[in-house]
Amino acid sequence: MASSSEHHHQQRVLNAGVLGATGTVGQRFVVLLAQNPAFRIHALGASERSAGRAYRAAAKWKMSEAMPAAVADMEVRACDPAQFGGCDVVFSGLDASVAGDVERAFFEADFAVFSNAKNYRMDPLVPLCVPVVNTDHYALLAAQRAAKGLRRGFIVTNSNCSTSGLVVPLKALQDRFGPLRRVVVTTLQAISGAGYPGVASLDILDNIVPLISGEEPKMEAEVLKILGGLRADAAGCAPLADLRVSATCNRVPVVDGHTECVSVEFAAPAPPSIDEIKQCLREYTCEAQRLGCPSAPRQAIVVTDDEDRPQPRLDRNAGGGMAVTVGRIRPCPVFHVKFTLLVHNTVLGAAGASILNAEYAARKGYIVAV
Amino acid sequence: MASSSEHHHQQRVLNAGVLGATGTVGQRFVVLLAQNPAFRIHALGASERSAGRAYRAAAKWKMSEAMPAAVADMEVRACDPAQFGGCDVVFSGLDASVAGDVERAFFEADFAVFSNAKNYRMDPLVPLCVPVVNTDHYALLAAQRAAKGLRRGFIVTNSNCSTSGLVVPLKALQDRFGPLRRVVVTTLQAISGAGYPGVASLDILDNIVPLISGEEPKMEAEVLKILGGLRADAAGCAPLADLRVSATCNRVPVVDGHTECVSVEFAAPAPPSIDEIKQCLREYTCEAQRLGCPSAPRQAIVVTDDEDRPQPRLDRNAGGGMAVTVGRIRPCPVFHVKFTLLVHNTVLGAAGASILNAEYAARKGYIVAV
Amino acid sequence: MASSSEHHHQQRVLNAGVLGATGTVGQRFVVLLAQNPAFRIHALGASERSAGRAYRAAAKWKMSEAMPAAVADMEVRACDPAQFGGCDVVFSGLDASVAGDVERAFFEADFAVFSNAKNYRMDPLVPLCVPVVNTDHYALLAAQRAAKGLRRGFIVTNSNCSTSGLVVPLKALQDRFGPLRRVVVTTLQAISGAGYPGVASLDILDNIVPLISGEEPKMEAEVLKILGGLRADAAGCAPLADLRVSATCNRVPVVDGHTECVSVEFAAPAPPSIDEIKQCLREYTCEAQRLGCPSAPRQAIVVTDDEDRPQPRLDRNAGGGMAVTVGRIRPCPVFHVKFTLLVHNTVLGAAGASILNAEYAARKGYIVAV
Amino acid sequence: MASSSEHHHQQRVLNAGVLGATGTVGQRFVVLLAQNPAFRIHALGASERSAGRAYRAAAKWKMSEAMPAAVADMEVRACDPAQFGGCDVVFSGLDASVAGDVERAFFEADFAVFSNAKNYRMDPLVPLCVPVVNTDHYALLAAQRAAKGLRRGFIVTNSNCSTSGLVVPLKALQDRFGPLRRVVVTTLQAISGAGYPGVASLDILDNIVPLISGEEPKMEAEVLKILGGLRADAAGCAPLADLRVSATCNRVPVVDGHTECVSVEFAAPAPPSIDEIKQCLREYTCEAQRLGCPSAPRQAIVVTDDEDRPQPRLDRNAGGGMAVTVGRIRPCPVFHVKFTLLVHNTVLGAAGASILNAEYAARKGYIVAV
């Protein structure tokens, strides 16, 4: 499946399309792609209402970074595969309400689709891939193409933003110390995760919203699929059956960066020491790093010994937003260990994950030239 | 120990002194006492620096409620028992750095002291009393007086602000369904809990601080003492030995109101249903309510079925800040049940608890006329 | 026009209807009316979508105060005069997009309408009345009724929320020191002024929005009408012609309470001293106070000498939200005097003004029994 | 005074010392210098308490950007000239309480000092220099050196953070349209301007503080000096005598970026049109840009036509924080024109200005090799 010559694949700059380019995830795609040496933004797609307008006019820009000059005058297209000719990869920041149909149209038209939407995440033939965790799930693509009759097209999804932060240290622990048995996680999630207009200010100034609709079951299920393996024939996933996850999700008055408080119980009766856990997290590396993908963080997990870290304002940009910062690693009086992690919800938690997924796919030969 | 005539005791308006009256807890004492029919503010104490000045000038007022006219021109005194003559009760909002010595001076001078400070909380002869939970711990006072050679004086403490919210529903569940085995709690705590100047704005605007120094062990220990019983001879506490509590405490950009996400495991193998739990919480009452104490909330636990409640801005004033609001009661995939609660950290979590403790003590005859 | 016996009129509790009762201004009407001895909430009106549902279910409650028990189970009605029989007064918190037609239907059906909407504010026959400033404009009602052929009905409007704070000290200064020539005002306005969902949190967390659409011309025009007089025949307004006002309006991350920084130039060449100005503001009273209207603040203008006041969190509830707090009164290097004021934008700035307008109207005999 | 060969001077990388390196301005110096090709951080100075410790340990890091690796292990020195040997330039982020003595010790020891402190700003022999505005004031340095008997040493100051934003468009307008007569400015200033711990969170969450102690007179005076010229003999400043400025300064819950609402009256009776003003601002350039200083923004003034901009979260990083964004340019009903500007208070408003001042000085030959 993978190319025999990875070096060959990484040379070419790929033409990228962005679906849902005017939304907040779409804007993050645009910011990240504009500074990424592996891609050139080739087409921007949005709703019929935006199609035909200059991106500058169609997008109500909400990023702290300025709109890249290269896209400001690009004409926005409708999200129709016929209008995305020449794109090597297509990134989707579409809302779930439309992502199902539109993304199918694209992969059936033989596009390589990298989606942030939830619609296909739990499909057993679709990799649900946090690129610093389970790129081995790309092995599903052969079966996916066979099942859907695709030659070049496929779809790879990234996880929910909260899931993406949680699975990185859990994967490191599982790889080193064996299966986990129970995880209790409480999140403090940033407002950017809800898009724009998203959370009303009257709901979040001097306030906490203790519910993010649908988020908890998503986290509880996605973790099992991501940390699980594949069937022996690579024709489906084998989610973990013995891990139980309990998630509680809160919205907090923070712009970017999800904080997660995690308690973990190992299956093994004799748990590792706190020092062993710190060392394990610090030493964790992934294949996307080893392949030299440009978006891969130098350090996948930044372990901090400052007892009041991680903090969203200070740590969300660690590794360009692609690293997870883990702190307050200490014994848990109820389980084995507890810690607090921080993940940039629109970078590793959304657009950045899709982009690194695509970089990985390119290097492994999954993206077939048009 | 208790008076044979509770009616007699509740008639008289008590003269109240406030130690640490210029701090944020002290200011809350002043606001609450000024509107409480059972007390008259008689003396305000603060540091030597403030002594001799008008309260209006000495206190940097930070309450949303206006400073009560009755205290604005009162002269602040030093925290010296000799200057508190005529006080029936003394409330302490002192900082822990000075509370130990000052409070001892007051109870040894035979004052009835109700303290919000942590210094004496874990003393086995001192009631650590959340007044809607464990007023039965007042039975320790006889032994306390005997041990310290006091005639009228004593000290009663209230708990840490986070503890106070947590123990109310736990007590209700324990009373109805038997012992609890494990509790995991993650808090999102308001800035007013840190006093003034307290949390720097650079630390909390667009940010979360994942540590509140010393708070987690306090919560983990205080819960066991409060939910536990007394020794058979009422000469000491018998903290719970079989409950394990794991607390993670965060500071969030909220002015007042601590949110707590709680997962609970019962000792019994067959846990109650969600409906039984809701009913249990709604039906919970305490002795302070039955005695008609003015600060006792009509409903000790407000159970909400709105799936996005409780919220600090909307629910912190439930029951005048003396009720705990509990919502999102649902099964926990890891334990038996999880829920989110909200407590007003400076009312039931601090000054309000001390005041209700004093109201209870008065009605039960513990406060001996000067 | 006014009753010969004001005492007679103030006795009866009036039945009140609220139009737009589920919105944020409507919710503030409900909170204020429920605690007002002069009114009984008789009917709640909202959109067709809400009509027929219990208020508890129809209103997405956003007030810090709990929903009054008396209204929770009231059935919401459509905003149709036929459904408001028995109402002595009707308060409108409707959105401007529908207020024009609905309010006309009500006053033409002979209801006494008190509106917070902007639609009729600049009509020369409609009092634009900040009740602590210009109740003398009620004299327009005779001409209004004559022009519209109404017997009992009429409409009185209150001003934009920012205007309401500004005109109070300006009126006091104008009354004492003669005409003003130039006013430059910059506002820092709370999010509650924009309703719900209103301002998106991504627009206001760690941010300022330097525009409130349409607000500046509204302020600049309303001030002239309110501070102006009436035509000699009371058949129209005579807005000030010689005052120039320049307003700049900003949205800031504050829940309630508009802050306004004001520079004033008097027409007289020799301006009053700072002490004279303070005294003038402190001594200002209005007719609604003299009549004993329950919502009238004891002190219309609270002058503070604390150099870091007023502050929204600390001062917005002064006088139950019906007083304006003025501080930092000092010479202006460009004009004569500058100061900072604070007004509760949904109380004196909206619902509270309408209610005090109605209290005044009742005492003056404008409200004719059904 | 200036070197005959500017090209020569710009080649060498200069060794930089930072005084007050652990404070918030000092941390901004460190972040900016670490990414600046013209400087190498050579020495970090702080209080005696920090001296001898690693910078990583001594500085309580509060920047969103990670601490540069190159400084983390540098040993902090006392602010003693003897310990700064080898430094070509010394930047001061010292607090005003110590800056007077320390900075004098450094320039008297013949160091080139660039200070953000207020102590020497109004000294007639010291350039108060916003580097995109009035680098012509460097002509004072000859007289300064002569007066103080310095060979290589001197001191150049930058302005107060609010002043720095205001003078940029004012300078552009004055250069093009002639003298200004009156300016009224109201600021909404970010918390980072107050340092750490600085503003208490209880003072600013859901709140505005309408006072920044000492700020208004500073702004009102500094503008006159900066926009003014020099005496004919370059031996002193000639502040503007005919411009009157009225400043009102507020603290708002924003992390970085000061917003300023400005009304301007020209001396000329026929003011320019709005379009002429926009064009003037867009075309404004300064000598630091023409010399190719690395920190000079490509565009000194970014004029936005979006009617709801500038906004701090979106615009503070324009030009790397060295540009001023101006929007809402419109007629003022009281003066001639009003607009809203945004300046990054710790970049152009503090550390960035000092650094660009030093770049300019280097290119003009004012910095004499050690």
* Tokens describing residue A285: 């590396």
Contact B210 A245 (CB under 8 A): no
Q: What is the pLDDT of residues C10-68, one digit of tens each?
A: 468 999 999 999 999 999 999 999 999 999 999 999 999 999 999 999 999 999 999 99
Count of CB pairs separated by less than 8 Å, A with C: 62
CA distance D101 to chain C (A): 30
pLDDT at site B10: 46
In tens, the pLDDT along D138-187 reads 999 999 999 999 999 999 999 999 999 999 999 999 999 999 999 999 99
Q: Are A188 and A249 in contact (CB under 8 A)?
A: no
Q: How far apart are the first and last CA of chain B?
A: 18
Please, is A4 exposed, middle or buried when counting C-beta atoms within 10 Å of its C-beta (0-12, 13-18, 19+)? exposed
CA angle C262-C264-C270, nearest 5°?
150
Q: Which secondary-structure segment (H or E) carries A218?
A: helix A215-227
Q: Would you say residue B359 has pLDDT above 70?
A: yes
- Taking the C-alpha atoms of residue A60 and residue A77, their distance in angstroms, rounded to an integer, is 16
What tokens appear for D237 in the block?
A: 């400043």
pLDDT for res B120: 98
Identify residue A343 by its one-letter amino acid code: V
Q: What is the pLDDT of residue A11?
A: 61
* D66: nearest CB among A63, A255, A318: A318
Residue with tokens 């300023």: D260
Closest residue, chain B, to A259 (C-alpha): B208
Q: Is D194 on the interface with C (CB under 8 A)?
A: no
Q: Token digits for B16? A: 């109240």
User: Can you tell me the mean pLDDT for A269-279?
Assistant: 96
Instruction: Name the pLDDT band for D4 (thresholds 50, 70, 90).
Output: very low
Instruction: With beta carbons under 8 A apart, name residues in chain C contacting D338.
Output: 246, 248
**ipTM summary value:** 0.95
Q: pLDDT band at residue D126, thresholds of 50, 70 and 90?
A: very high
Smallest CA–CA separation between B117 and chain D, in Å?
Answer: 21
Does C64 contact B313 at a Cβ distance shorter than 8 Å? yes
Determine contact, residues C191/C251, Cβ cutoff 8 Å.
yes
Q: Give yes or no for A63 touching D (CB within 8 A).
A: yes
Confidence check: pLDDT of B108 > 50 = yes
Which chain C positions have a beta carbon within 8 Å of D331's beta carbon? none
8 Å CB contact of A65 and D317: yes
For A193-234, how does the pLDDT look when each residue is reduced to its tens digit (9 = 90+)?
999 999 999 999 999 999 999 999 999 999 999 999 999 999
Q: Which residues of A touch B338 (CB under 8 A)?
A: 246, 248
> Percent of chain C having pLDDT more than 90?
95
pLDDT given for residue D7 in this prediction: 47
Interface residue A206 vs chain C (CB under 8 A): yes
Q: How confident is the prediction for chain C on average, in pLDDT?
A: 95
**Contact across the interface for D255 and A313, Cβ inside 8 Å:** yes
- Segment D7-27, tens digit of pLDDT: 444 468 999 999 999 999 999
Tokens describing residue D261? 């609402």
CB atoms within 10 A of CB D181: 16
Counting one residue from chain C and one from chain D, the pairs whose CB atoms sit within 8 A come to 129
Residue D281 scores a pLDDT above 90: yes
Q: Which chains touch A (3 or more CB pairs under 8 A)?
A: B, C, D
Q: How far is B309 from chain A (nearest CA, A)?
A: 6
C31-37: long-range pairs with CB below 8 Å, 24+: C31/C63, C31/C65, C31/C68, C32/C295, C32/C347, C32/C351, C32/C352, C32/C355, C33/C91, C33/C355, C34/C68, C34/C70, C34/C71, C35/C68, C36/C294, C36/C295, C36/C355, C37/C13, C37/C294
- Name the residue among D340, D358, D320 with its Cα closest to residue D135: D358
The pLDDT, as a whole number, for residue A4 is 41
Handedness of CA D364, D367, D368, D370 (dihedral sign): negative
The pLDDT value recorded for residue B11 is 61
Exposure of D133 in the CB half-sphere (CA atoms within 13 A): 33
- For an interface test with A, give the residue of D27, D63, D64 to mutate (most A CBs within 10 A): D64
Bridge partners, residue D19, by sequence: D45, D92
Which residue in chain D has the smallest CA separation from B24?
A: D202
Asked which of C196-200, C301-305, D14-18, D268-272 is least confident by mean pLDDT, the reply is D268-272
Of the partner residues D197, D206, D253, the one whose CB lies closest to the CB of residue B200: D197
CA distance B274 to B281: 11
Q: Which residues of D are less than 8 Å from A63 in CB distance?
A: 314
* Amino acid identity at D316: R
Verify whether residue C9 is a known catalytic residue.
Answer: no
Average pLDDT in chain B: 95
Contact between residue D347 and residue D64 where contact means Cβ atoms under 8 Å apart: no
Average pLDDT value for residue range B142-156 = 96
* CA distances (Å), origin A190, targets A219, A226, A258: 16, 23, 6
- Chain B partners (3+ C-beta pairs within 8 A): A, C, D
Report CA-CA distances (Å) from B272 to A78, A206, B170, B275, B339: 54, 35, 14, 8, 14
Write out chain D residues lying below 8 Å of A62, CB-based.
314
D191 touches chain B (CB under 8 A): yes
Q: Is A312 helix (H, G, I), strand (E, B) or coil?
A: helix
- DSSP class of residue A272? P
CATH 3.30.1360.120 fits C6-160+351-363, yes or no: no
Q: What average pLDDT is seen over chain A? A: 95
Tell me the residue type at A305: D
CA distance B306 to D170: 54
- Please pick, among B9, B137, B258, B336, the residue that the annotation labels catalytic: B258
How high is the pLDDT of residue D282? Answer: 98
In the predicted model, what is the mean pLDDT of residues C77-91?
97
Which of these, C327, C324, C339, C217, lies nearest to D186 by C-alpha position?
A: C339
pLDDT of D288 > 90? The answer is yes
Token output for B192:
């007013």
C182 interfaces chain D, CB cutoff of 8 Å:
yes
Give me the count of residues in chain A: 370
Q: Is C64 on the interface with B (CB under 8 A)?
A: yes
| Helix, strand, coil percent content, chain D, rounded in steps of 5 | 35, 20, 40
For C146-172, the pLDDT digits (tens) are 999 999 999 999 999 999 999 999 999
pLDDT tens-digit readout, D31-58 = 999 999 999 999 999 999 999 999 999 9
Predicted confidence (pLDDT) at residue A139 exceeds the cutoff of 60: yes
Domain A161-344, CATH homologous superfamily name and number? Dihydrodipicolinate Reductase; domain 2 (3.30.360.10)
* Location of each CATH 3.30.360.10 domain in chain D: 161-344
* pLDDT tier, A128 (very low <50, low <70, confident <90, very high otherwise): very high
Mean pLDDT of chain D: 95
pLDDT of residue D11: 61
Q: Which pLDDT value is given to residue D319? A: 97
Question: Is C65 close to B205, i.e. CB distance below 8 A?
Answer: no
Kindly indicate the confidence band of residue B368, based on its pLDDT and cuts at 50, 70 and 90: confident
The Cα–Cα gap between D27 and D295 comes to: 17
Integer Rg of chain B from CA: 20
| Single-letter amino acid code for the residue at B5 | S
Distance CA(C310)–CA(C301), nearest Å, equals 12
A126 near A154, Cβ under 8 Å? no
pLDDT, residue C369, reads: 78
What is the DSSP secondary structure assignment for residue D193, as one 8-state letter?
Answer: G
Q: Which one-letter DSSP state was computed for residue D113?
A: E
Assigned token pair, A293: 């993908």
Residues 6 or more apart whose Cβ sits within 8 Å of residue B51: B45, B76, B77, B78
Catalytic residue among D9, D258, D336, D344: D258
At A7 the pLDDT is 47
What is the SS3 assignment for D94? coil
Cite the beta strand spans of chain D per DSSP E. Answer: 14-19, 39-46, 77-78, 89-92, 112-115, 154-157, 180-189, 229-230, 237-238, 244-251, 258-266, 301-303, 324-331, 337-343
What distance in Å separates the CA atoms of residue D121 and residue A175, rounded to the nearest whole number? 61
Is C198 in contact with A200 (Cβ distance < 8 A)? yes
Residues A55 and A21: their CA atoms lie apart, in Å, by 9
DSSP A37-104: TTEEEEEEEE-TTTTTSBHHHHS----SSPPPHHHHTPBPEES-GGGGTT-SEEEE---HHHHHHHHH
C66 closest CB neighbour out of B66, B255, B318: B318
Query: Where, residue-wise, is CATH 3.40.50.720 in chain B?
Result: 6-160+351-363
CB contacts of A186 in chain B (<8 Å) are 186, 248, 261
Query: Cβ separation of C197 and A192 shorter than 8 Å?
Result: no
For B264-295, b/e burial (b = at least 16 CB within 10 A) is: bbbeeeebbeeeebbebbeebebbbbebebeb
Verify whether residue B261 is a known catalytic residue.
no
Strand ranges of the sheet holding D89-92, from the earlier edge strand across to the other edge: D77-78, D39-46, D14-19, D89-92, D112-115, D154-157
Would you state the structure tokens that stand for residue B64, as one six-digit string?
């949303």
The Cα C128–Cα C120 span in angstroms is 8
Distance of CA A239 to the CA centre of its chain: 18
In this predicted model, what pLDDT tens digit does every residue of A43-91 receive, in sequence order? 999 999 999 999 999 999 999 999 999 999 999 999 999 999 999 999 9
Q: What sign for the dihedral angle of Cα D122, D125, D129, D133?
A: positive
Beta-bridged to residue B330, according to DSSP, are B338
Where b means 16+ CB within 10 Å and e means fewer, D105-133 reads ebbebebbbbbbbbbbbebbbbbbbbbbb
Return the closest-CA partner of residue C162 out of C11, C20, C346, C306. C346
The residue among B201, B206, B256, B314 with the most chain D CBs within 10 A of its CB, best to mutate, is B201
CA–CA separation, D303 and D329 (whole Å): 9
Cα C86 to chain centroid distance, Å, stands at 25
Rounded mean pLDDT, B163-178: 98
pLDDT reported for residue C3: 41
> Are the CB atoms for D352 and D33 separated by under 8 Å?
no
